[in-house]
Structure 1
């Protein structure tokens, strides 16, 4: 009679499996089921899938890590298969502006009962803060503030021009800052130096050797990887470059090293994109005219989508969703496939910006989403906007 593989090496083997393979392994026999049900295995899968959420056992309540993960997958699957008739439609009008974000509900739900709460920024320029953040101004300065007091922690002059892009990495370790001026080299700063500034010393930073930056995104599951979109040759060529950041200590000194791992230029005949996003750090999604493209970071085209009739005017990307809007009064939802399986990006559903309203928008409509809702802001003028929310009817 063959003896079963001891529990420790079997656990090690199972630690390399994804969710679906681990479920299948648990169906082999009672012994494998016991090992495959280990809370540690399922917690590691949760941390891998949602790397930068602050999970703890207290948040779980009575459910196990396995139950939590499977519930989240069911929520994602429900959104993936949703049809327009599955949503509850609401709208409101006012001076809402075009800046929109989720305050809660946009991440994994620990108890399944959280509601999506959103925030908008109006043209009155009122600012409310709930978390630590950085602000860039037109003088090229970066301010680090505390909340809710908004007390200044540090002020750093990054450029001689305005800071047009300011992105914090998912693990809050790095800050990417850049302007759009053709002679500006983007910088990556070490956040700890901004939170604990040393008098008379400049914060640790490194310049990335690509000027004319027009967008940048951190990889949601690789905290030290950033992809930039830049222009070349009088803005007629668009390119993408990807860097990995490391903090290296040699001879008692600490320095940031930026390692370029990939770069490519789009074909000249392709209309230059305005928006971009990244998934696992190896794929880039961007719009070009009415089309949505998916490329590898090395320039290999993987997919092309033509779900819009008119030019895509806004693109929103997170680790699960890709959301596009266009001037044809429609938005379209895509979702990333798990573990980079083909098709890497799946086209899901089409929703109207405003139901039965084909009045053209004066400004580009913008949309965001989570696992239970889609929010879109359509502006008729600088003083009037329409906020639309589609909530899954559960």
Structure 2
């Protein structure tokens, strides 16, 4: 007996169409008016969006500017262009010139995440330099928006995107807060040591700036006024090199690479922001030495990963720790428990090892010119040696991994879920940075969902930014 699709209800047809690929769904929409009505159903395209990306910000589409269908098709097209990386067809590259010194840091003041409106926001990158200036750039147009007056050489930069503020530290210990829209200085604070490591974030409606000094002190300052809230001596005379917060901002990790026998420390953020009467903070030391890299897991804020010296001092180890709070009648203690540990096969100490994490169980490690992906159990999922010189910077998000190297190239790799093997990383293409006669390679990289920006160390000392914007 011949099956008559006209007897199907609209709801039944929509359910059948929910199993189709986007291309098949578009073909089905042209069969007849009834199929077109089913194929254009917003619920159907909304389900496809959420199944593919989990998080979608389409509030803008409800204002009549677009539909779930157009969102899906545009975002899919953007990802295809990020996977193929054809110069001119898929992206445009612009050189951002203006600094007369080395670039020490770059951050997105305005960026497009995979949960944001990726078509209406224009990415703005800010860079800090030893020439004493901060500069803001429109990455799509390749133009400078503003530059701060020349001051002492800068050492670090960080951003609070919620407040639209930038923070810098200079060579003589001055911390400054800058208005992101104009580049105007709004506050400053003078520490007693140079080269502070900075971290800005908001927790429980309080915005703060953390500053780790070259003499081992940790300052907690209000934002944006930069008034001192607390001051802790973390490592006596040793520089704080690593300053990282958990995703929920409840924990703060501090470590030094200078003292091989100095154990890293994990602080309660609340005890730093709201110090006790005696000024002491709640913290716990981590029982490892020679820590050279660390990261919290994005979706497991109470779990972190460290790369450190192993017991025989001949190899580096990677260890996973669970962190919890134990409350008793009279006090609260931080409990740090090691749950996994394995050898990385790195001989001796390597301070330039890079570590980032994805989700709740994936680790990305870069050392020399090699990129590796591990599980928390120490299973190496894949390894790449696409670069011919050391990897200097690493950027990881839910869609891709970008590596920057001294070989004057950026390597773009994308995540993919396989039915049998699970999550894998696939190497896609290179983005080239220029000539070795003019540059010594890439030193830093940052990326959002539609652009990649990296700094080139120039032979003449005037570093340049390369901005790659992908076409949607």
Give the direction of change, closer, same or farther, for the CA distance of 1:330–1:137 in structure 2 (3 Å limit). same
Give the direction of change, closer, same or farther, for the CA distance of 1:92–1:110 in structure 2 (3 Å limit). closer
Q: Distance in 1 between matches of 2:61 and 2:270?
A: 28
- The aligned counterpart of 2:391 is 312
Give the direction of change, closer, same or farther, for the CA distance of 1:306–1:190 in structure 2 (3 Å limit). same
- Residue-by-residue CA offset, 1:346-382 (whole Å, 9 max, x unaligned): 212211012xx23263465222211111111111258
After TM superposition, the score normalised by the length of structure 2 is 0.66
After TM superposition, the score normalised by the length of structure 1 is 0.78
Q: Distance in 1 between matches of 2:418 and 2:393?
A: 26
- The aligned counterpart of 2:123 is 116
Q: Distance in 2 between matches of 1:141 and 1:312?
A: 30
The equivalent position to 1:80 in structure 2, one of 83, 103, 116, is 83
SS in 2 for 1:188: strand
SS in 2 for 1:114: coil
The equivalent position to 2:466 in structure 1, one of 383, 388, 391, is 388
The equivalent position to 2:282 in structure 1, one of 188, 204, 208, is 204
The equivalent position to 1:170 in structure 2, one of 235, 239, 247, is 247
- The aligned counterpart of 2:216 is 140
Q: Distance in 2 between matches of 1:172 and 1:65?
A: 35
- Provide structure 1 residue ranges, at least 5 long, that are not aligned to the other structure: 1-21, 28-33
Give the direction of change, closer, same or farther, for the CA distance of 1:179–1:152 in structure 2 (3 Å limit). same
Q: What is the RMSD computed on CA atoms of the aligned residues?
A: 3.8
Q: Distance in 2 between matches of 1:84 and 1:350?
A: 10
- Residue-by-residue CA offset, 1:41-85 (whole Å, 9 max, x unaligned): 988997x759xxxx8979986699977985666644542343233
State yes or no: 1:294 paired with 2:301: no
Q: Which has the higher contact order (CA 8 A, sep 6+)?
A: 1
Q: Distance in 2 between matches of 1:206 and 1:387?
A: 40
- Residue-by-residue CA offset, 1:321-350 (whole Å, 9 max, x unaligned): 321122222110112335996451121221
1 or 2, which has the higher strand percentage? 2
Give the direction of change, closer, same or farther, for the CA distance of 1:111–1:157 in structure 2 (3 Å limit). same
**Contact 1:68–1:110 (CA<8 Å) still a contact in 2?**
no
- Residue-by-residue CA offset, 1:183-230 (whole Å, 9 max, x unaligned): 111111111111111220522212111111001111122222211111
**Contact 2:264–2:288 (CA<8 Å) still a contact in 1?**
yes
**Contact 1:353–1:378 (CA<8 Å) still a contact in 2?**
yes
Displacement after TM superposition at 1:232 (Å): 3.5
Report 1:349-364 matches (<5 A). 349-354=429-434, 357-359=435-437, 361-362=439-440
SS in 1 for 2:272: helix
Q: How many residues align structurally?
A: 364
- The aligned counterpart of 2:8 is none
- Residue-by-residue CA offset, 1:285-312 (whole Å, 9 max, x unaligned): 2223322111222222210112223332
The equivalent position to 2:451 in structure 1, one of 342, 364, 373, is 373
- Provide structure 2 residue ranges, at least 5 long, that are not aligned to the other structure: 1-16, 26-40, 133-152, 155-167, 169-176, 181-199, 202-208
The equivalent position to 2:93 in structure 1, one of 89, 94, 111, is 89
Give the direction of change, closer, same or farther, for the CA distance of 1:203–1:320 in structure 2 (3 Å limit). farther
Give the direction of change, closer, same or farther, for the CA distance of 1:233–1:286 in structure 2 (3 Å limit). same
State yes or no: 1:150 paired with 2:157: no
**Contact 1:87–1:393 (CA<8 Å) still a contact in 2?**
yes
* Structure of greater Rg: 2
**Contact 2:443–2:454 (CA<8 Å) still a contact in 1?**
yes
Displacement after TM superposition at 1:318 (Å): 3.3
SS in 1 for 2:271: helix
- The aligned counterpart of 1:11 is none
